[in-house]
Amino acid sequence: MNFDSACYLLRFDDFCPTMSWPRWQPFQRLLEHYRIRPILAVIPHNEDASLMVDEPINGYWAHLRRLEAHGATIALHGFRHVCTAQGKGLIPLHADTEFAGVTEEQQVEWLRSGLEILRSHSLHPRLFVAPRHGFDDATLRALHAVDLPYLSDGLSHEPVRRGGVTWIPQQLWEPVEQSSGLWTICMHSNTATAAQFSRLERFLKLHAARFTNFDEICAHAKPVAPTISDNLYASAFLTRFRSRRIMQQIRRAPFSGVS
Ligand SMILES: [Zn+2]
């Protein structure tokens, strides 16, 4: 598998029993129509009040089992999704996260407990997605300790191997046409607007054949070390991100999009 032509992967974050299922369903229908196999980032024990959008969904875990049976990849999305840690993460997009800066023992404990919860509902978590991109070297060691050596994050252009973990890059929050590389588009169905849905719909109409999935990447892509061009892209992205956030703070508008 090479990425001389662009390949895309879709990821949906913040699955928990109190997510909005009605907001998710149009996305589910769209993915089924185009036979897209997304990554679904599932919070095992949500305590983040901002994600308590609706009453707990009837049959939530059975819905997830069906989605996995139809080809979705289940990712472990943190543990409680409560972001009060302030360590410096390897992808420093946010000051407050759940994992970065927390002791390795605690991280192992959260990962183990989270995996147990998902597996107790007969799901098969395959990779880690850190809430707010917050993870550090201790997280990489903790992922090894619990035998989950894949994560979805990073600003490279193809899967890379760092700290003994395969990083499947995630660089987009909306579909944007690219010429080469592997691009993960991360979306949040709870908060996606009608315009964002339409943009995804139009993009899939044109590019559905260019979408890949986690299994295909694991089977065929050979993770490499990050290249100089990856590092340059990452530092340019972080600079743009910080400038945009400062401008938005000045205007007292909340930052939207990157989360
Ligand atoms: Zn999240």
Instruction: Give me the residue spans of the domains in the chain.
Output: 7-250
Scan for tokens 């044109």, then name that residue: 206
Q: How far apart are CA 75 and CA 9, in angstroms?
A: 14
Compute the distance from residue 82 Cα to the ligand 1 centre, in Å.
9
- Average model confidence (pLDDT) across the chain: 92
**pTM across the whole model:** 0.91
Average pLDDT over residues 242-256: 64
Residue range 7-250, CATH number? 3.20.20.370
For 19-76, what is each residue's pLDDT tens digit?
999 999 999 999 999 999 999 999 999 999 999 999 999 999 999 999 999 999 999 9
**Residues contacting residue 184 through CB under 8 Å, at least 6 positions apart:** 8, 9, 10, 11, 39, 152, 168, 169, 170, 171, 172
Compute the distance from residue 21 Cα to the ligand 1 centre, in Å.
16
Compute the distance from residue 111 Cα to the ligand 1 centre, in Å.
15
- Is the per-residue pLDDT at 233 higher than 80? no
For 95-142, what is each residue's pLDDT tens digit?
899 999 999 999 999 999 999 999 999 999 999 999 999 999 999 999
211 secondary structure, DSSP code: B
Helices (H), the chain: 21-33, 60-69, 104-120, 137-145, 194-207, 214-220, 228-250
Res. 225 pLDDT band, cuts 50 70 90: confident
Compute the distance from residue 131 Cα to the ligand 1 centre, in Å.
5
Compute the distance from residue 33 Cα to the ligand 1 centre, in Å.
26
Average pLDDT over residues 134-156: 96
Q: What are phi and psi of 228, to 5 degrees?
A: -60, -40
Compute the distance from residue 224 Cα to the ligand 1 centre, in Å.
27
Compute the distance from residue 13 Cα to the ligand 1 centre, in Å.
5
Residue whose C-alpha is closest to residue 161's, from 215, 223, 227: 223
